[in-house]
Amino acid sequence: MIELSVTLGIVISLFFIEKFGLASGGIIVPGYIALQLTNIDRLIGLVIISLATFGLIKLISKFTFLFGRRQMVVALLIGTILSIISHHLFIVETQTTTIELSAIGWVIPGLIAHTAAKQGYVKTMAMLSISSVIVRLLVILIFSGKLFPELY
């Protein structure tokens, strides 16, 4: 299911880039986010970590030339560090449930922040939300046998 989700995410991302000129936070990101749409706490953690990464990139770019490949590396590095920290600090366990306000993956927040630095955070998150929901819907349709019933 992961392979299908990531592949569909790549296709949907490419379609949106060509049709609307807006990226979904990295070409592989919608596929991974689509698999986590039922984990609201992880999505909130992702938004927080990617926004913090975006803010740090903007702050660093005021003091140095940060663009292109250099910006990508810094975004991935900051996103990875914040994601690792979130995996250790932002997990709240109660008697009935566990809340994980940690990011999804280590690379995903950096990819989102890098794309957001180019086109804006709101546009990036809007495209990511739309494309992830479409990918999730397609995965559900394919695995339920409703889209390709001859496979089941």
Q: Quick: pLDDT tens for 56-85.
A: 999 999 999 888 899 999 999 999 999 988
48 CB-contact burial (10 Å; exposed 0-12 / middle 13-18 / buried 19+): middle
Distance CA 115, CA 14 (A): 14
Q: How many CB atoms lie within 10 A of CB 126?
A: 13
pLDDT tier at 146 (50, 70, 90 boundaries)? low
Q: Could you tell me the CA-to-CA distances from 29 to 10, 98, 113, 152 in Å, in that order?
A: 8, 25, 12, 28
The predicted pLDDT at position 13 comes to 94
Residue 98 and residue 52 in contact, taking contact as beta carbons nearer than 8 Å = no
Helix (H, G, I), strand (E, B) or coil at 123: helix
Mean pLDDT, rounded, for 116-144: 93
Q: What is the DSSP letter of 91?
A: E
The predicted pLDDT at position 143 comes to 82
What is the pTM assigned to this prediction?
0.87
Helix (H, G, I), strand (E, B) or coil at 28: coil
Distinct helix (H) and strand (E) counts, the chain: 6, 2
End-to-end alpha-carbon separation of the chain, Å? 15
Place of tokens 């986590």: 36
Instruction: Kindly state the tokens that stand for 114.
Output: 């890098």
